[in-house]
Amino acid sequence: MSTSKSTEHVMAEAKAKRKRQTDNAQHNPVDDLAHKKKKKKKKKNKGGGGGGEGDANAQEGQAATAGEADGEDGGEDEEEGAEGAGGEGAAKKKKKKKKKKGGLKQTEPPTVPVSKLFPGGKFPEGEIQQYTDDNLWRTKSEEKRELERIEADLYNDVRQASEVHRQVRKYIQKIAQPGIRLFDMCEQLEQCTRNLIEERGLTAGVAFPTGCSLDWVAAHWTPNAGDQTVLTYDNVMKVDFGVQLNGRIIDCAWTVAHNPKYDDLLKAVKESTDTGIKTAGIDVRLCDVGEAIQEVMESYEVELDGKTFPVKCVRNLNGHSIAPYQIHAGKSVPIVKGGEQTKMEEGEFFAIETFGSTGKGYVREDLECSHYMKNFDVGHVPLRLPRAKQLLGTIDRNFGTLAFCRRYLDRIGETKYLMALKNLCDAGIVQPYPPLCDVKGSYVAQYEHTILLRPTCKEVLSRGDDF
């Protein structure tokens, strides 16, 4: 009897044990936990929060944990979980890849043409300033708006050139540090410009040589071959360069000064340029622009090494109108009062530039010449020197009536050209533009923008986040 009872007892215990195991298998707490977490993840993904590779990996980890606890059943769960997570992860990854492909970015140094950064072919407007007083009606005139629609292609060209200028100068502002050789800086700047505008002969390229005039040299200085001039901490450097597309020129300049003692000088000139831009407009007299500029400029003074200097306008330097392939198109914008009574007109382009000096406020030609330009209206002039004729042909093909420098002649393979170049200058075919200098020991700063007097508003084409 005792043996029979024992056997029945053992069988009952075994049956109960099997039942507990079955219950445990069906209600495994690890599996329940994994299941709950999966539900939470799904809710989050539906709500748009926190998805991605991290969540997919977490789900895979939970499925693996459940698989280890449950054996074969858990293995099936793991496979399904991994498959689901993999599907979600792949979708997320695809989206990320598309995001990367969506926006082409500029390199450093800049090499990507701006036409590829704006695949639609439409380039950003400059700063828009509304006309005031008697010209306020232009803003809402349908007739004037139609005139602008007709000129849409022209406006897009100058905006493209302006965008090139902004992107190139952004890079140059980073590398124009004490210790850089100015020859190298100019070469880099001009190569970046050629890359971004996609240089095509006279159709698109650099508009004139890069000016990097130092201290008392106000304008028209660029290094010739072999020049070893290096930028220093105490220099005041005017960086003036241009971009042209279909002959439409963007002329823009700013001043680099690393020593903060020059801050007031730079501020005076920058504010004066902005005042000139604000004053300019259709039917505005050029002399009125000059008077407004002078009033602002000469309200400033600068302290240098314990001495106080009034900031003076450089009275024999001016802004100017710009025409196709003609950087100085005939109208001069003075920066002092008492200039021309001539008025600005609708559709004109102007370079509004101001120069402030701690010296006499008057410049003269000095130093070795580097800038040259073929006279715009020159007719046929007989030349005796065959070498001069050959050089003139090179200038016509490569520069036309755009300004050039000796470095540009070197770049296209010209050698031993100085005598022929002098002959062209003496004949009046080519005009030399030597550096313009105030008194030695003084400091000159410059700021410049190109503006367009549109029928409905004034557009500061070269305006950027920097100035």
**258-276 per-position pLDDT tens digit:** 999 999 999 999 999 999 9
Q: For the chain, what are the domain ranges?
A: 23-102, 117-368+439-460, 370-433
User: What is this structure's pTM?
Assistant: 0.79
Residue 428: burial class (beta carbons within 10 Å; 0-12, 13-18, 19+): exposed
CA 403/CA 431 separation, integer angstroms: 9
d(CA 311, CA 442): 11
Strand-pairing partners, residue 451, are 350, 460
What is residue 432's three-state secondary structure? strand
Supply 128's token pair: 């828009």
| Known binding-site positions for substrate | 220, 328
Mean pLDDT of 202-227: 98
Give the pLDDT score at 297: 99
pLDDT at residue 25 in the model: 47
Q: Choosing from 165, 320, 371, 449, which is the catalytic residue?
A: 320
Catalytic residue, candidates 251, 288, 438, 459: 251
Sequence length of the chain is 467
Residue 172's identity, in one-letter code, is I
Calculate the alpha carbon distances from 14 to 25, 36, 70 in Å.
16, 32, 21
Reply yes or no on whether 251 is catalytic: yes
Report the pLDDT value the prediction gives residue 340, as an integer from 0 to 100: 87
DSSP-derived 3-state class of residue 168: helix
Residue 297: its H or E element? helix 286-297
pLDDT beyond 50 at 77:
no
Question: Which residue among 215, 240, 264, 459 is the active-site one?
Answer: 240
Question: Domain 117-368+439-460 belongs to what topology?
Answer: Creatine Amidinohydrolase (3.90.230)
256 beta partners = 237
Region of poorest pLDDT, from 63-72, 123-132, 199-208, 227-236: 63-72
pLDDT for the residue 9: 53
CATH number for region 370-433: 1.10.10.10
Q: What is the mean pLDDT of residues 348-355?
A: 99
Q: Express each pLDDT in 18-68 by its tens digit.
A: 556 555 544 444 455 445 544 544 444 444 444 443 443 434 444 343 344
Round the average pLDDT of the chain to a whole number and report it: 87
How far from 201 is each of 165, 205, 374, 398, 414, CA to CA, in Å? 18, 7, 16, 6, 17
Confidence of residue 78 (pLDDT cuts 50, 70, 90): very low
258 is catalytic: no
List 190, 448, 449, 459, catalytic entry: 448
Structure tokens at 372: 């040259």
How far are the Cα atoms of 20, 35, 127, 231, 348 from residue 29, in angstroms, in the given order?
14, 10, 66, 73, 81
Over residues 332-351, the mean pLDDT reads: 96
> Can 353 be counted among the known catalytic residues?
yes
Give 34-85 as a DSSP string: HHHHHHHHHHHHHHT-S-SHHHHHHHHHHHHHHHHHHTHHHHHHHHHHHHHH
What b-and-e string marks burial along 445-465, b requiring 16 or more CB atoms within 10 Å of the CB?
bbbbbbbbbbbbbbbbbbbbe
180 burial class (0-12, 13-18, 19+ CB within 10 angstroms)? middle
What is the Cα–Cα distance from 310 to 197, expressed in whole angstroms?
A: 41
Distance CA 99, CA 166 (A): 26
CA pair distance 264, 261, nearest whole angstrom: 7
Q: What is the pLDDT of residue 46?
A: 46
Please enumerate in sequence order all residues whose Cβ is within 8 A of that of 378, keeping only pairs 6 or more positions apart, or say none: 428, 429
Which segments within 94-149 are labelled E, that is strand? Answer: 127-129
**Active-site residue identified among 31, 78, 88, 353:** 353
Coil, strand or helix at 391: helix
The verdict on whether 35 is a catalytic residue reads no
User: Rounded CA gap, 335 and 116, in Å?
Assistant: 39
